Amino acid sequence: MNRPRSHPLASHASAGRQRVVVILAIAGLLLAAGCGSGDEVAAGNEPDSKYSGVVLGEPTNRPQFTLTDLDGNPFDFYEQTDGKLTFLFFGYTNCPDVCPVHMAQLSEILARPGMPSAKVVFVTADPTRDTPKVMEKFLGNFDPEFIGLTGTEEEIRAAEKAAGIPPAQFDTEDGKPDPDGDYTVSHAGQVLAFAPDNRGYTVYPFGTRTSQYSDDIPLLAAIKPVTGSNPDGGSASTGEAGATSTTEPTTQWGGATLGDLTISDARAPEPTGPNGALYFTVTNEGAADRLLGATTQSSPDVQLHETVEDGGATSMKELPDGVEVPAEGTVRLEPGGTHAMLMDVKRVESGSMMPVTLTFEKAGELNVLVPVVPVTEATR
């Protein structure tokens, strides 16, 4: 049959390092417009949109590409996901935040009673280090039904092009991956969604809340293939898409007070790789101060970073001078913004508490017990 050709869509890149954790993509981040057609991506919901995700200016078509599944068999993406709600993501297993957050969110939501079924396809952007065995273990942390795909670098670059996202890049001297190297991989940070009518209406950048996914999945699943002409490439079904629960689990966040400073909403997502992250909010009711750093027995090295966007790519910038805490102001360390990186973090499980010492220039040291939480809860 004649399959529709894929249409370029907007994207932003994320980066990760084996030893240097990189947390990318900002919730509500403006996405750069896709090249080729001039179509634009809305920066968040359009005022009259029924969707909670980022709405595409024009629907895209389900892309065509063939890669290799984890059993070594050819996987024709279009044919093997045709007519099914599908989430497509290009990432890599050493990513400490962006990739596991997306996978954990989708796993948790799709397991809810009454939620429509969907296929989740994870394409590695780092095939040199992401062997089938490594990918199988990684995806098994979330859902063994998630589909992992790999291939040669050329095949993966072709798949990225078909999906309308920028090609992954390796931060090495020659721009090539090194199986034993410590290097950054920059890759598109959003999940692409394709409804059963084989069209894409929304994308989900890093920072998307679990509730946004859960709001949209029944709506997307209800867009069934139709016959005859239809300028939108599909039509929403009038039948019910299945009941869904929107109840979010609650967690008692950590916090502490030191003089005019109050720490709240502290949490550390359960690590899925060699590195981890630490998020919290600092509220200052007095004179300006500065967060100089953090220490914890769970990590030999904690670094403060901020996310920087340059030419549509998102990367990390270390903050050696710390983070300013303005007078009578608030600073939030959160996914995709300013954040603390836990290098070579020890294995900690959800439900445990991580003792952390925060050091401020004027206020001094403040001890905080930080709850370790599931990845999905850390981004709410």
Decide the pairing of beta strands 339-343 and 301-310: antiparallel
Give the SS3 label for residue 231: coil
CA distance 135 to 142: 11
Which neighbouring-strand residues pair with 184? Answer: 17
**Cβ–Cβ contacts within 10 Å for residue 176, how many?**
11
Q: Which residues of 71-101 are buried (b: 16+ CB within 10 A; e: fewer)?
A: eeeebebbeebbebbbbbbbbbbbbbbbbbb
User: Is 99 annotated as ligand-binding?
Assistant: yes
CA distance 59 to 22: 31
User: Is 187 annotated as ligand-binding?
Assistant: yes
Give residue for tokens 């699943």.
221
CA dihedral (308, 135, 117, 249) positive or negative: negative
Between the alpha carbon of residue 324 and those of residues 104, 267, 338, 357, the distances in Å are 32, 20, 11, 17
> Count of residues for the chain?
380
User: Is 35 annotated as ligand-binding?
Assistant: no
**Cβ–Cβ contacts within 10 Å for residue 218, how many?**
17
Give the SS3 label for residue 378: helix
Inter-residue contact 31 to 41 (CB < 8 Å)? yes
Q: Where are the beta strands (DSSP E) in 86-183?
A: 86-91, 119-124, 147-150, 169-170
Residues annotated in a binding site: 95, 99, 187
Residues annotated in a binding site for Cu cation: 95, 99, 187
